Structure 1
Amino acid sequence: MTKIPENSEELTDFILNDVLYGLELDPIDSERLLLYMRERHEHLFGPHSTYFVLGSYESPFKYRLDEALDVLNHRHDAYAYLLATQPDLDVSDAIPNLKVKFFLHALYADSIPLLLEHDTGGAIAEFGRVERPVLLDRTYLFPRAQEEHYDDESLLTTQDAILARAVELAYRADDLDKELAALATQAREHGLDISTQDLESYLESELGGRTPSYSGVITDSLVHLESLDQCFSWTTTAELEDRLSNVP
């Protein structure tokens, strides 16, 4: 199916053929699925614009999801939400509840912003799911530090720029300790009281001790979204808030 199901019969066919790959839904599960849709009708089909926000729920990455929700919900007649805040399906144990729940919401969202900060966890599974044709044209990807915006030394004259550069280095430096030491030296040359330890503490708060990266499989898929003008790199939270303006 290349379009959103328009009625309950099409929806059931989609769930069976495109999500569950041939598993059978017994009449009780089918009825419960349709009941779930009716109960969520106001949220999924209301007059407002719906934004199904995806990304990592781990700390500290969840903070950026909350920021995205706040930005999008400040739009006129907007409803931005996470999957975790939605009720679970009441179906039999043979049915993958979370998977079906994901697609029910993704199918009817007006836009699907996906924040990426690393290449592990549930956000990567979601990334694979939204690449399906029925979802791709409404998906907007926001990978952190995919592009370097602060590699020009002439820009590294403020504390914000130094901290942003530290994040970029965390994603791509072969010897991060060495690069952070050099960055701290550069900061002090511009009269900024920033030490290597300050940069390390900042990265701990931003990345939770993780060494972030994107696999070749992920970066290859990013090229696809970039070619569609649906991929927007960011480094700081302020930049993320600005990039979200690309979501219609």
Structure 2
Amino acid sequence: METVPENIHETEEFILTDILHGIELDPQESLSLLSYMQERHEHLFGPFTTYFVLGSYERPFKYRLELALSELNSRLHAYAYLLAPQPDPDLPERLPALKIKFYLHAIYADAIPLILEHNTGGALAEFGRADHPVLLERTYVFPRGYKSHYDGSVDSLDAVHARGIELAYQADGENALCDALEQLIEEAEDNGISVTTADLTAYIEQELGGRLVPSYSGVLTDGIKHYEQLGQCFSWATEEDLRTSLTNVP
């Protein structure tokens, strides 16, 4: 199915054919699935513009999900939500209940912002699932530090921090990053901004959960390129950048 199901029965058919790919449900399992969809009816089919926010639930990365929720919920008649707080469907262990839950909450979202900061965790599974034809055109990817926005000047501490984050993602190892940070600090000092290597390194590690030199795998960057070509990829460095980038989500 490449179009959004229009009613609960079409949704059940979508789950059975597109998600479970031929796994049969017994009558009680089918009833449980229908009951779950009916309970979530107001949420799934409500009058709000809905935003299904994806990303890592680890700290400090979850803080960026919370920022996105706050930013999107500030819009008029908007409802942004995460998957984890939503009720779980009452399905037997033999079924991939989390996968079913994901798609039931994704297929009716008006937009799906996916915030990426590293290579591990559930965000990668979400990245793969969002590639489904019924979701792809509504998914917007926000990879941190994927592209540089450096314009050749660092005229504030915020700009130094932003450039430091970008260098961390782009460095070829810790030694290369240390050299790049030293050069950045010299540029900052030339502009009258006082910052030490220790302070900048501590900021980067705090922001990136102890990862001084993060990176994206080749598989992940290949998928990001797809969204980039679709005009649905927006790189960011600082939280203020992320707020600005989220304005690209309709």
TM norm. shorter chain > 0.5? yes
Shift of 1:179: 1.5
Instruction: Identify the residue that residue 215 of structure 2 maps to in structure 1.
Output: 213
Aligned-partner SS, 1:108: coil
CA distance, structure 2, for counterparts of residue 179 and residue 209 of structure 1: 19
Shift of 1:186: 2.3
Instruction: Identify the residue that residue 106 of structure 2 maps to in structure 1.
Output: 106
Q: Report the TM-score, using the length of structure 1 for normalisation.
A: 0.95
Aligned-partner SS, 2:89: coil
Paired residue for 2:167, among 151, 166, 169? 169
CA distance, structure 1, for counterparts of residue 18 and residue 47 of structure 2: 28
Alignment check: 8 A CA contact 2:36 2:89 kept: yes
Aligned-partner SS, 2:30: helix
Q: Report the TM-score, using the length of structure 2 for normalisation.
A: 0.95
Determine if the alignment matches structure 1 residue 246 to structure 2 residue 244. Answer: no
**Matching residue's letter, 2:171:** A
117-126 vs 179-188, which moves further: 179-188
CA distance, structure 1, for counterparts of residue 100 and residue 143 of structure 2: 25
Instruction: Identify the residue that residue 184 of structure 1 maps to in structure 2.
Output: 185
Aligned-partner SS, 2:84: helix
Deviations 1:201-240 (A, max 9, x none): 1011100112321112222222221222111111111111
CA distance, structure 1, for counterparts of residue 177 and residue 137 of structure 2: 37
Aligned-partner SS, 1:64: helix
Structure 1's unaligned 5+ residue stretches are: none
Shift of 1:124: 1.0
Aligned-partner SS, 1:192: coil
Structure 2's unaligned 5+ residue stretches are: none
Shift of 1:130: 0.6
CA distance, structure 1, for counterparts of residue 77 and residue 179 of structure 2: 49
CA distance, structure 2, for counterparts of residue 79 and residue 40 of structure 1: 14
Paired residue for 1:228, among 214, 227, 230? 230
Instruction: Identify the residue that residue 200 of structure 1 maps to in structure 2.
Output: 201
Determine if the alignment matches structure 1 residue 64 to structure 2 residue 70. Answer: no
Two-structure CA RMSD over aligned residues (Å) = 1.2
CA distance, structure 1, for counterparts of residue 64 and residue 218 of structure 2: 24
CA distance, structure 2, for counterparts of residue 38 and residue 214 of structure 1: 39
Alignment of 1:27-66 (within 5 A): 27-66=27-66
Deviations 1:5-48 (A, max 9, x none): 22333222211221112211111111111111111112111111
**Matching residue's letter, 1:170:** A
Deviations 1:78-119 (A, max 9, x none): 100000110111111111111100000001111111111112
Instruction: Identify the residue that residue 156 of structure 2 maps to in structure 1.
Output: 158
Q: How much identity, in percent, do the aligned residues show? A: 59
Shift of 1:182: 2.1
**Matching residue's letter, 2:72:** L
Instruction: Identify the residue that residue 84 of structure 1 maps to in structure 2.
Output: 84
**Matching residue's letter, 2:39:** E
**Matching residue's letter, 1:240:** L
Shift of 1:185: 2.4
Shift of 1:159: 0.7
Alignment check: 8 A CA contact 2:8 2:37 kept: no
Deviations 1:165-221 (A, max 9, x none): 100011011211222222222222222120000001101110011232111222222
